[in-house]
Amino acid sequence: MQLLITRPLEQNIITGERLSKIGHSVIAEPLLTITALETPFPDDEITGTILTSINALDALSKSPVDKEMLLFTNGLTTQQAAQQVGFTNGIAVEGTVAELVKVIPLMLQAADPQIENPRLLYPCAQETAGDVPALLQTHNISCLPWPVYQTTPSAAFSDSTRHLLQNGEIDAVLLYSSKTARCFAKLMMGLKWPDVYALSGQIAAQLPRQIQEKANFPDTPNEEALFALLTDYK
């Protein structure tokens, strides 16, 4: 398959290499640009950290956070990346952020049965797709948001990608975030849509209704499950 990869540049390269190794042709078209923010590190005491995007890992790894402290991630890939930069006490849940939040209270209790008033650091984007602090608050867990990056959507496709889309030469596009999906839909005005493979149903829901109905997404929002869907392509 000829696949359009829309992830930010660094992740785009990694995903593209993985897809090339299993026989796909890949076209890199990053639709979000990641820019680091110089937000001061919070002084408050924390019990652990919740990391919902690999884009925040660089700032977290350079922060004063104790790398032996609990680190909750929604995805094994993010946890493994955190391990590579020194975090030793990661706990991953393969699922949505909401599913991760549901199990955090049990994990905190297991780590420290005497824990009281837990507070988690939340390194995140300047604009987030969901309200993690509100989700945690429903479980009586305080959250300390720490915006460490911002994402800027592309204003246009590259000329080469636009040409390929116009001529129907791209078999499918892979979408990894809600913001990317909205950007892609906006840029697709007047062009021929390829098949859509989204990391989750929530991401697919950002697309026009007629495209949503035909979009493919895995039951579990991770890259392995997404790649498995590609094997069924006809």
Q: Which domains, and CATH codes, for the chain?
A: 2-31+154-230 (3.40.50.10090), 35-151 (3.40.50.10090)
CB atoms within 10 A of CB 124: 24
Q: What is the pLDDT of residues 80-98, one digit of tens each?
A: 999 999 999 999 988 888 8
- Asked whether the beta carbons of 52 and 73 are under 8 A apart, the reply is yes
Q: What is the pLDDT of residues 63-82, one digit of tens each?
A: 999 999 999 998 888 999 99
Distance CA 61, CA 65 (A): 8
Secondary structure of the chain in HEC code, one letter for each residue = CEEEECCCHHHHHHHHHHHHHCCCEEEECCCEEEEECCCCCCCCCCCEEEECCHHHHHHHHCCCCCCCCEEEECCHHHHHHHHHCCCCCEEECCCCHHHHHHHHHHHHHHHCCCCCCCEEEEEEECCCCCCHHHHHHCCCCEEEEEEEEEEEECCCCCHHHHHHHHCCCCCEEEECCHHHHHHHHHHCCCCCCCEEEECCHHHHCCCCHHHHCCCECCCCCCHHHHHHHHCCCC
Q: What is the pLDDT of residues 164-175, one digit of tens each?
A: 999 999 999 999
Distance CA 138, CA 217 (A): 28
Residue 233 pLDDT: 64
Distance CA 179, CA 53 (A): 13
pLDDT at 27 over 60: yes
Q: What is the pLDDT of residues 49-61, one digit of tens each?
A: 999 999 999 999 9
Distance CA 94, CA 72 (A): 11
Residue 118 pLDDT: 93
Residue 128 pLDDT: 86
**Tokens read off for 68:** 């032996």
Average pLDDT over residues 141-146: 94
